[in-house]
Structure 1
Amino acid sequence: MSAAYGFSGKTVAVFGLGASGLSVARALVAGGAHVLAYDDNRSRVADAHAAGLESSDLTSADWTRIDALVLSPGVPLTHPEPHWSVRLARQHGVEVIGDVELFCRDRQRLAPTAPLVAVTGTNGKSTTTALIAHCLDHAGRDVQMGGNIGVPILDLAPPASNRVHVIECSSYQIDLAPSLAPSIGVHLNLSPDHIDRHGTFEHYASVKERLSAASDVAVIGIDDPKSAEIADRVETTGRKVVRISVHQPVEDGVHAEGSQLMLARGGERVPFFDLTGARALRGAHNAQNAAAAVAVCLELGVDPDKLRTGLASFGGLDHRMAEVVQAGRVLFVNDSKATNADAAERALRSFDRIYWIAGGRPKAGGIDSLRPLFGRIARAYLIGEAASDFAHALEGAVDAVQCDTLEVAVAAAARDAAADPHSEPVVLLSPACSSFDQFPNFEARGHAFAEAARLAADELNGQEGS
């Protein structure tokens, strides 16, 4: 754990007592701060008490005595309206920051040149973060991975000159980290997402841009117009920009030509790594993730041969195009992390014959953008609040079945896929929706799919053996 010493002897309010909030509170206490911890969810306040932390009802606190509010990234800062704790803080001139900001301030104090890689983008953040960390670890580096990917940043070992921190940053975390200035900032892509929390796509994009604009080196995907504009703007400030692409050659950076990653320097291009043998990196979206990892690791001086073996040995992440089980010809793939249409598109492009499980709580735009890929879908199994709208969008193009639960959808998809003569039909959970109508998070949805997939696979294997 990192102790946060920046507020030693001061009083800090911490709102939001999930994993990151408890981590913040512990780090601040370890650094000598007086912490007032609170949450609208009383069970989380009880968890804080059980952890030995002091709680205080911030609605009636004396804010003139509070030096900072550390806000959980899940709590609204600006939209649809600022949380009441944010309003109270601003009324009293109290700064509002997040856990990443605490880490950045301690980095500046302890080891300002300590390597910090921060990864953002609408899609692919977690896989890219994990892939970079895996390749660095494979190369023998002391690497710490966390942030939005799961381990709170303040639960990691503290910054040190010989230690690389690889951090996934959501737009919410960037918004709460005004001094975030990575050694290498990675911006993968942009598509409309989290508009309910940012108001407009333009504001969402501007928050994401802050990370690249403050980085010593910016690795930027240029395959969508907004991101390409960001690369051009950041470059005009004199910062080094390394462009990555899976759709076009680049002058300086990394791009994909089919399955081959190419290094480009001054317009000269040489092959670097063939993704064909890296099963966990199949699909164009993973080519972008791998291109980013190559760019980052080479900037950090990783030996190219060790980098290649690191890419080849990467096993992928749970809930991101994860192969769960195979029953005969039928492959079950868990892509529960695909919480919007752009993410689902990446999975749909990766397979030819798909029994698609989709739905949940819908996001802006629906699935109309996926229409060019409908021909890959043998049948769709629709769940959750979006089922009716998705059925309407698929009407006349894809045979669709509305299912009450994920378990029903998996069982039906497995039966249909097993009867398909295709060489490898795929039962794919790639919902294009958030999970919050039926599950607390995408992880819980993915675990439920994996359990149902294994049961279905056992049944199919039993039928083959009988």
Structure 2
Amino acid sequence: MIPATTFSGKHVALFGLGGSGIATARALVDGGAEVLAFDDNPQSVAKAGADGIPTADLRDIDWSRVSSLVLSPGVPLTHPKPHWSVELARGAGVEVIGDVELFCRERIAHAPQAPLIAITGTNGKSTTTALTAHILKSAGRDAQMGGNIGRAVMTLDPLQADRPYVVECSSYQIDLAPSINPTAGVLLNLTPDHLDRHGTMQHYASIKERLVAGAETAIIGIDDSWCAQIADRLERVGKDVVRISKRLPLTDGYFADGTDLMEAVDGRYSRIAFLEGIGSLRGQHNAQNALAAVAACLKAGLELGEIQSGLESFPGLEHRMEQVGRKGHVLFVNDSKATNADAAAPALSSFPRIYWIAGGLPKEGGIEPLRGLFSRVARAYLIGEAAPAFSATLGESVPYEISGTLQAAVEHAARDAEADDSGEAVVLLSPACASFDQFQNFEKRGEFFRQAARAIEGVLPIGEKR
């Protein structure tokens, strides 16, 4: 836990008592703040009170005594309209901040030399955060990882000058962190997302830009026009900008040439790392993630040998192209996190011979956007409510069966893949659908797939030997 000592003696209102909200409230209390916390859910308020956190309806408090409103990231700040607690705070001239801002103020006050790597982007930020932390840990650093992944940021180990912190930041968190000033700020990419929360793409991009604008070094993927413009804009005002690209040779920066990660200096290229044979980092999207992690770890002082060793030992994230088992030439991959077509595309583009399990609760557009990848699919196994619509889209382009359940799909796909003698065959769960018709969430769906795959006779978890 990191006590929020910079708020000692101050009156702080807090709204949102989910997991991160409770953790933030405790950090404020431990730091000596006078806290009043609330939530629209009475059960959450009761739970917080039972845990010793002072609670009160924020509509009834004296806002003239409050110095800050600490808002949970999921609570609307601007769109579609500010939450009522935000309107009360602004009406009283009270700042509205979040837990990442608390962390940044503690770091500035107590350990400004502590390396902070903050990572954002529309896609890939969780993998990049986990990979960066893994590389640092494998090199013997006491790396702390949290934020929008894993642990709430204020529950990380106390700040120390030699302890690196790797923090994934959503746009919601950045919007509530005006003091964010990482040692290395990473902006991977930008595509339209969360526009119901931010209103316009321009506003969304401007929030993401804040993370790299406040960084000592800005590491920016330039494969989309939004990020390329941000890199150019920051460089013009004197920011130290490191450009990365998963496909473009650069004059200066880092780029991917197939599975080779290259450094460009004044147009001269050299290989600094490679991804060949690293199953957890297949695909162009993971090349971008790896480039960002490499650049961040170099900024944190690691040697190239340490970085390569960390890349090679990275196990990957659960439910994101997670290699869960192998039987001979058949690889089982859990990509349950792919809850729409765009999210399924990276996995489908990463393997040449796929026995694809798809379906669930359908999203708008279905799998039509994936048509260009159908040639990689040997056979599809359709499950859940989306099965009829997906079968119509596949038509005669891809052989398919309507398996109905995930259990049946795993069994049938494994049988057919084992009979395929054309090389490595991949049984891939990449549903392009939400899970709610058959599972509580995508994690439960992925866990079921993992267990079903490993229950097949002869399947070994990745990393185990016969």
Are 1:418 and 1:460, in contact at CA under 8 Å, matched by a contact in 2?
no
Q: Could you tell me which residue of structure 1 aligns to residue 432 of structure 2?
A: 432
| Residue type at the aligned position of 1:41 | N
Identity, in percent, stands at 62
Q: Against the structure 1 CA distance between its residues 385 and 92, is the aligned structure 2 distance closer, same or farther, given a 3 Å change threshold?
A: farther
Matched, 1:259 2:231: no
Task: Describe how 1:282-431 pairs up with structure 2 within 5 A.
Answer: 282-360=282-360, 366-383=366-383, 390-400=390-400, 405-431=405-431
Q: Against the structure 1 CA distance between its residues 139 and 90, is the aligned structure 2 distance closer, same or farther, given a 3 Å change threshold?
A: same
Q: Could you tell me which residue of structure 2 aligns to residue 7 of structure 1?
A: 7
Q: Could you tell me which residue of structure 2 aligns to residue 237 of structure 1?
A: 237
Aligned-pair CA distance for 1:116: 0.8
Aligned-pair CA distance for 1:322: 0.8
Q: Could you tell me which residue of structure 2 aligns to residue 167 of structure 1?
A: 167
Are 2:326 and 2:459, in contact at CA under 8 Å, matched by a contact in 1?
no
Are 1:187 and 1:219, in contact at CA under 8 Å, matched by a contact in 2?
yes
Q: Against the structure 1 CA distance between its residues 111 and 66, is the aligned structure 2 distance closer, same or farther, given a 3 Å change threshold?
A: same
Number of corresponding residues:
460
| Residue type at the aligned position of 2:189 | N
Separation (CA, whole Å) in 2 of partners of 1:267 and 1:73 = 42
Aligned-pair CA distance for 1:162: 1.4
| Residue type at the aligned position of 1:12 | V
Separation (CA, whole Å) in 1 of partners of 2:201 and 2:386 = 22
Q: Could you tell me which residue of structure 1 aligns to residue 137 of structure 2?
A: 137
Measured against aligned partners, the alpha-carbon deviations of 1:283-325 in whole angstroms (never above 9, x if no partner) come to: 2111111111111112222122222222222222212211112
**Range with greater deviation from structure 2 (39-48 or 160-169):** 39-48
Q: Against the structure 1 CA distance between its residues 259 and 12, is the aligned structure 2 distance closer, same or farther, given a 3 Å change threshold?
A: same
**Range with greater deviation from structure 2 (44-53 or 297-306):** 44-53
SS in 2 for 1:276: coil
Matched, 1:272 2:283: no
Separation (CA, whole Å) in 2 of partners of 1:98 and 1:401 = 48
| Residue type at the aligned position of 1:216 | E
Aligned-pair CA distance for 1:335: 1.6
> Structure 1, unaligned stretches of length 5 or more?
462-466
**Range with greater deviation from structure 2 (67-76 or 425-434):** 425-434
Aligned-pair CA distance for 1:247: 0.9
SS in 2 for 1:186: strand
Task: Describe how 1:51-66 pairs up with structure 2 within 5 A.
Answer: 51-66=51-66
Q: Could you tell me which residue of structure 2 aligns to residue 196 of structure 1?
A: 196
Q: Against the structure 1 CA distance between its residues 295 and 413, is the aligned structure 2 distance closer, same or farther, given a 3 Å change threshold?
A: same
Q: Could you tell me which residue of structure 2 aligns to residue 49 of structure 1?
A: 49
Q: Could you tell me which residue of structure 2 aligns to residue 223 of structure 1?
A: 223
Separation (CA, whole Å) in 2 of partners of 1:182 and 1:281 = 25
Q: Could you tell me which residue of structure 1 aligns to residue 114 of structure 2?
A: 114
| Residue type at the aligned position of 1:220 | I
Measured against aligned partners, the alpha-carbon deviations of 1:138-197 in whole angstroms (never above 9, x if no partner) come to: 223232111111111101123332121111111111111111111111111122222332
Separation (CA, whole Å) in 2 of partners of 1:93 and 1:404 = 56
Measured against aligned partners, the alpha-carbon deviations of 1:383-403 in whole angstroms (never above 9, x if no partner) come to: 566556545544453345556
Q: Against the structure 1 CA distance between its residues 361 and 158, is the aligned structure 2 distance closer, same or farther, given a 3 Å change threshold?
A: farther
> Structure 2, unaligned stretches of length 5 or more?
461-466
Are 1:193 and 1:364, in contact at CA under 8 Å, matched by a contact in 2?
no
SS in 1 for 2:82: coil
SS in 2 for 1:136: helix
Aligned-pair CA distance for 1:60: 3.9
Aligned-pair CA distance for 1:121: 1.0
Are 1:193 and 1:340, in contact at CA under 8 Å, matched by a contact in 2?
no
Separation (CA, whole Å) in 2 of partners of 1:386 and 1:190 = 28
